[in-house]
Amino acid sequence: MKETVKNILQKYINISCETTIIVGFSGGWDSMCLLDIMNKLSKEYGFLLVAAHLNHNWRGKESEAEKERCLAFCEENDITFISDTLAEGLKASELAAREMRYDFFKRCAEEFEADAILTAHTKSDNAETILYRIIKGTGLNGLEGIREIRDLGGFKVIRPILNFSRKDIEEYCIKNELYPNNDSSNANTKYARNNIRHNIMPAIKLINPNIENSLITLAEIASGNNKVINELMENIEKQITIGDKWLTQNFLILNSAIKQHFVYKLLVKNDLEPSFSKIQELINFITENQKSKTGKTLSVTNDLWLFVSHKYTYFVHADNYKKIEEEVTIDKIGTYTINNQYKITIEENKEKPEKYPKAISNKAYADIKKEYFPLTLRTRRNGDIIQPFGMQGKMKLKKYFINKNIPEHDRDKILLLCKDKEVLWAIGAGVSEKLRAADIPMYRIEMETLKHE
């Protein structure tokens, strides 16, 4: 097993004395086996091995005792140990547990600047996952099961014992005199995966004793077919995407199978379970809101939304809703920064520009009357108004944004150059009539995004 694990790791990372590897360590059979193998390899190569243990705090004293046994094993074997205990009362669900574990692993990887995170998924886990997805409803991509490697926020998550069955793991632990934890919750069949493991799989084995290998073979076939499909889809994808956005109307003319493929990829990219029902829900939402000019949003998770307008479809993350609260006073020409994120420069202009920037530009030429100073650089507030370029009257900024087809989640990110409640320039959206320039504009104004090392 050690050679197999080593060969899999060397496919993805360079193993040396400068390497740091995190192993998710519950203390159960699978993770005990993996950590023991990695400990032997660390003695051979000299890399830093870190065991990361998350106490979900669902089983009180039992969970605490498991943590202590994990710590004792690591101390006995000179393995760096890091742990965290979740607050009591958190939702006890398989999905919540998975999300919290990976969040913990990522924090550990960041702290130790790890080269990889290892999890102890086995062939048996993979077979159960494939069966679970079949039961819940999945497509060809879902049949691929657990991948040998995946990305977690820039860190590699590798499953080096994925080719070994639960029986192989147990034999290794017994042979090497390892004494794993026996998590009592693993016997609780109210959890779907435990039900599959203890009830459904044994029943299927009465029909096909080799069901695990059959499901893994199915996954390999699905993976091969997906490679062919993905190559064919590349040209189609170029026709419907601009960066991370889809052209809504181009997406809608695709046939249903191709639509499902694109939505599946979107869910996987955002680390979401790609069930058929969820895929269909998103496709239906896109179809129902394809004519919306300012766009509609559908909550997918607590910090993720699907945005759909007549032009674009894309995912919006919670960061897109963070409003800049800082307010900067501009009392004369010069350079100013806001939120340590943007820089705005106002300088005198003495030449007629070859052409004026478009309304959506972050650059403008303007005449700013002396009485306008001091100005304010900020984001929108209740009661803001603007006199659109070329118009005599004023309107609420909200209506202005609606007329400009600016999505709701983008409005709080737009910086405004204001005189009290009146917006003189909505940067990237348009200039007020109040700043209409003469033949040779008085000022050149430009906003830049600051780059941080």
Residue 355: the pLDDT is 87
CATH of the domain at 138: 3.40.50.620
Residue 401: the pLDDT is 92
My answer on whether 165 and 268 are in the same domain is no
Number of domains in the chain: 3
Q: Is residue 150 part of a domain?
A: yes
Q: Is residue 225 part of a domain?
A: no
My answer on whether 184 and 206 are in the same domain is yes
Residue 269: the pLDDT is 81
- Mean pLDDT, residues 43-61 taken together: 88
Query: Is residue 452 predicted with pLDDT exceeding 60?
Result: no
My answer on whether 41 and 170 are in the same domain is yes
My answer on whether 291 and 381 are in the same domain is no
CATH of the domain at 258: 3.30.465.60
- Mean pLDDT, residues 417-430 taken together: 94
Residue 247: the pLDDT is 94
My answer on whether 33 and 157 are in the same domain is yes
Of 320, 343, 369, the residue at which a domain comes to its end is 320
- Mean pLDDT, residues 429-433 taken together: 93
Give the domain range for residue 132: 2-211
My answer on whether 315 and 413 are in the same domain is no
Residue 313: the pLDDT is 93
Query: Is residue 92 predicted with pLDDT exceeding 70?
Result: no
My answer on whether 163 and 32 are in the same domain is yes
Q: Is residue 218 part of a domain?
A: no
Residue 23: the pLDDT is 95
Predicted TM-score of the model (pTM): 0.58
My answer on whether 175 and 299 are in the same domain is no
My answer on whether 173 and 24 are in the same domain is yes
Of 189, 211, 233, the residue at which a domain comes to its end is 211
**Higher pLDDT residue, 33 or 277?**
33
My answer on whether 186 and 45 are in the same domain is yes
Residue 107: the pLDDT is 93
Q: Is residue 298 part of a domain?
A: yes
Of 304, 320, 336, the residue at which a domain comes to its end is 320
pLDDT, tens digit (0-9, with 9 covering 90-100), for 355-392: 888 988 999 999 988 889 999 999 999 999 999 999 99
Q: Is residue 217 part of a domain?
A: no
Residue 193: the pLDDT is 83
Q: Average pLDDT over the chain, rounded to whole?
A: 90
Residue 248 near residue 240 (C-beta atoms within 8 A): no
- Mean pLDDT, residues 348-356 taken together: 88
- At residue 181 the predicted structure's pLDDT band, cuts being 50, 70 and 90, is confident
Query: Is residue 150 predicted with pLDDT exceeding 60?
Result: yes
3-state DSSP of the chain: CHHHHHHHHHHHCCCCCCCEEEEECCCCHHHHHHHHHHHHHHHHHCCEEEEEEEECCCCCHHHHHHHHHHHHHHHHCCCEEEEEECCCCCCCCHHHHHHHHHHHHHHHHHHHCCCEEECCCCHHHHHHHHHHHHHHCCCCCHHHCCCCEEEECCEEEECCCCCCCHHHHHHHHHHCCCCCCCCHHHHCCCCHHHHHHHHHHHHHHCCCCCHHHHHHHHHHHHHHHHHHHHHHHHHHHHHHEECCEEEHHHHHCCCHHHHHHHHHHHHHHCCCCCCHHHHHHHHHHHHHCCCCCCCEEEEEECCEEEEECCCEEEEEEHHHHCCCCCCEEECCCEEEEECCCEEEEEEECCCCCCCCCCCCCCEEEECCCHHHCCEEEECCCCCCEECECCCCCCEEHHHHHHHCCCCHHHHCCCCEEEECCEEEEECCCEEEHHHCCCCCCCEEEEEEECCCC
Q: Is residue 221 part of a domain?
A: no
Q: Is residue 220 part of a domain?
A: no
Query: What percentage of the chain carries pLDDT values higher than 90?
Result: 60
My answer on whether 8 and 58 are in the same domain is yes
Q: Is residue 135 part of a domain?
A: yes
- Mean pLDDT, residues 90-118 taken together: 86
- Mean pLDDT, residues 100-106 taken together: 91
My answer on whether 117 and 156 are in the same domain is yes
